[in-house]
Amino acid sequence: MARAVTQNRKIINTAAAWTVGLLIFFPILWTILTSFKTEATAIADPPVFLAFDWTLENYSVVLERSNYMRFLWNSVIIAGGSTILGIIIAVPAAWSMAFVPGKRTKDILLWMLSTKMLPAVGVLYPIYLIFIKMGLLDSRTGLVIVLMLMNLPIIVWMLYTYFREIPGEILEAARMDGAGLKEEILYVLTPMAIPGIASTLLLNFILAWNEAFWTLNLTAAKAAPLTAFIASYSSPEGLFYAKLSAASTMAIAPILILGWFSQKQLVSGLTFGAVK
Amino acid sequence: MSLRNSICAATALAMATATSAFAETTITIATVNNGDMIRMQGLADEFTASHPDIKLEWVTLEENVLRQRVTQDIAAKGGQFDVMTIGTYEVPIWGAQDWLVSLNDLPAAWDADDILPAIRDGLTVEGELYAAPFYGESSMVMYRKDLMEKAGLEMPEAPTWDQIKDAAAAMTDKDNEVYGICLRGKAGWGENMALLTAMGNSFGARTFDESWTAQYDSEEWATTVNFYVDLLNGYGPPGASTNGFNENLSLFQQGKCGMWIDATVAASFVTNPKDSTVADQVGFALAPDNGLGKRGNWLWAWSLAIPAGSDATEEAKEFITWATSKEYTALVASKEGWANVPPGTRSSLYQNTEYAKVPFAAMTLNSINAADPTDPAVEPVPYTGVQFVAIPEWAGIGTQVGQEISAALAGQQSVEEALEKAQALTTDEMEAAGY
């Protein structure tokens, strides 16, 4: 009897997980399907799911009109650069907080997180003016710095959580064997925290890839990433939903593929230390 | 000078000459994703072929994002853009602030006198033309000829609001999802408030009196908004309070609207058989009136302007001259047909016999001519703008008032409550702004 209940619960859980998964995935699927429709079919009522004449015209129009590769390259540089720079800064910070905590460590951690509660638009104008003075407007360097600063609290928090799971005795043993601070972090701590660092890297890469406020406000033509590419197909006067969907599909495709191949690492990293 | 020195000097001179001959100036153009703008981008190779020393970089953004970006850049003197696409709302405000470069010195061949007076006046501040119109638009009635015929009615060329209401009632067939009237209901100063402010003009309403006192508590505004809400709730599509231009365009193209009063630029979409199921059944009429001397149509021109912070002013002027010239119009006509020519800016276009064959050409011109941004309302007003008030505070006021009226349309509050709140918030905003 107990076994039957477990079996039933399993079925219910699986069905619930699939339902939630499909609900979350449906808008993405709809965007992808719409990208293969004509503009007329895209707005058809009742909506057409699969039985339509598939066309690649929207992709050809988007590729002809926009320099997709330039937007893609900018996204890779900005998301990758900000994430790596963030990790380089956050690893020593998280190490000190996890293994050599001071009286104010918890306060500092909370303060760092509180900066995420400030609406970005509140500091837009000061940052815009600083960027003008420093010649950083419409530059990838500027965006790497801003996105790194934006994601740094999350990176530090995540790494701090992972580092706390590593027994301090191991690091102590390394120190007793003559390891300096650099060796301790690089050769002892980092390899042990690889799943956590990998998931932090991935999550922050995704966050930086999808970031649309700063990337739209601080770029023009040269450093504009894929978020600006999508925005260029949105129109209040004209139905270009199929083309917008094609642009969106092209923008999310790289991150979807990356997420698909690294889902194991993402899940293991995010659940790291969750079950004791 | 030795031979060696002479050769060195000659080489240096040749290199300097060559460098200057091939010096390339890049101009960054911020624009919106509208059909005419995208067409211009596609034809820009013609410009660069004749101007090899100028390189064009395009930044295409959604209208509201673009407005925010260029406002921010121009106010902070960021200098990110050399040419920007702005509308008749921004030009008088920015021109007065000296944020834009005057275009009074464009070449004589550009023919400033050919620009339609209503459009030119909207882009001129104290005698200085601050933007060159790329395309102009007004609003008009687009209606289904077949449904009108079925209802036994005939649409006058210049209908009244009562005639529109009667036609909407006669065409509505909710069982078959055909709604007599589609209008903007989505909140926003450029959405429902564009329609309502222009509509209010034809009902004798005005946003402010001569001393800048808000007028939403007037009898005329109550009549306007009650008529609008009754019309849409009686004969409009479900969920009208969330419909903007695109939603109504979609409904009309699918044959679900008997009439749609909106931008003249929609005419080319609804008559395009590739996208519209009713392309051959669309008729056009002037925006309605109430016999008070003002029609309910607006006036807008997407225009090209140069921000004062640009370091490539001359090159930007060359581009603007090309993009808004008669020659550009001819180029579009030769490549894509007369129906796709940017409308509503030049008198000469409407004298062209080929363009006269375009079904919506005459009605677009008549609609534009029927709007006067310097004298929009029945009673005198202290502002310019037909469907907006050309003051910096309007974007905020218009959007908030639009939200109140949208809520009234959705049945969340009465029209009286909406207008009461509109009056209070407008008064507060204007007092805070020092009026």
How near does any CA of chain A get to the CA of B292, in Å?
Answer: 30
DSSP string covering B376-394, please? -SSS--SS--SSS--STTH
DSSP B294: -
Domains and CATH numbers, chain B: 3-136+300-356 (3.40.190.10), 138-298+379-432 (3.40.190.10)
Residue B422 and residue B385 in contact, taking contact as beta carbons nearer than 8 Å: no
Interface of A with B in 32-61 (CB under 8 A): 38-40, 43-45
Q: Quick one: which H or E segment has residue A14?
A: helix A2-34
Q: For residue A32, what are its two tokens?
A: 């992808």
Q: Phi first, then psi: what are they for B137, rounded to 5°?
A: -145, 150
Q: Which amino acid is at B192?
A: N
Instruction: State CA A186 to chain mean position distance.
Output: 25
Interface of B with A in 351-370 (CB under 8 A): none
Using a CB–CB cutoff of 8 Å, tell me whether B252 touches chain A. no
Which one, of A244, A156, A239, lies nearest residue A204 by Cα?
A156
Per-residue pLDDT tens for A209-265?
A: 999 999 999 998 899 999 999 988 887 777 789 999 999 999 999 998 988 888 777
Using a CB–CB cutoff of 8 Å, tell me whether B35 touches chain A. yes
Distances in Å between the alpha carbon of A73 and those of A32, A69, A225? 22, 6, 8
Q: Please return the burial class of B89, using the count of CB atoms within 10 Å of its CB with bins 0-12, 13-18 and 19+.
A: buried
CATH number attached to the domain at A66-232: 1.10.3720.10
Which one, of A87, A207, A227, A225, lies nearest residue A147 by Cα?
A207
The ipTM, to two decimals, is 0.78
Task: pLDDT tens for chain B, 435 residues: list them.
Answer: 455 565 556 555 555 444 444 568 999 999 988 888 888 999 999 999 999 999 999 998 877 788 888 888 888 888 899 999 999 999 999 999 999 999 999 999 999 999 998 899 889 999 999 999 999 989 999 999 999 999 999 999 999 999 999 999 999 999 999 999 999 999 999 899 999 999 999 999 999 999 999 999 999 999 999 999 999 999 999 999 999 998 999 999 999 999 999 998 898 889 988 889 999 999 999 999 999 999 999 999 999 999 998 999 999 999 999 999 999 999 999 998 888 899 889 999 999 999 998 888 888 888 888 888 889 999 999 998 999 999 999 999 999 999 999 999 999 999 999 999 999 999 999 999 998
Best mutation target among A66, A235, A240 (most B Cβ atoms within 10 Å) is A235
pLDDT at B20: 46
Among the partner-chain residues A222, A231, A237, the one whose CB lies closest to the CB of B263 is A237
For residue A238, what is the nearest residue in chain B, using CA coordinates? B246
pLDDT at A153: 93
Q: Which amino acid is at B168?
A: A
Cis amide bond preceding A46, omega within 30: yes
DSSP A48: P
- Residues whose CB is less than 8 angstroms from the CB of residue B200 and which lie 6 or more positions away in sequence, other chains included: B206, B207, B220, B221, B224, B377
Q: In angstroms, rounded to a whole number, what is the distance separating the alpha carbons of residues A204 and A75?
A: 13
Distances in Å between the alpha carbon of A242 and those of A42, A44, B373? 6, 12, 36
Taking an 8 Å cut-off on Cβ atoms, the answer to whether B61 and A228 are in contact is yes
Write out B338-372 in H/E/C secondary structure. HHHCCCCCEHHHHHCHHHHCCCCHHHHHHHHHCCC
- Residues whose CB is less than 8 angstroms from the CB of residue B153 and which lie 6 or more positions away in sequence, other chains included: B166, B167, B170
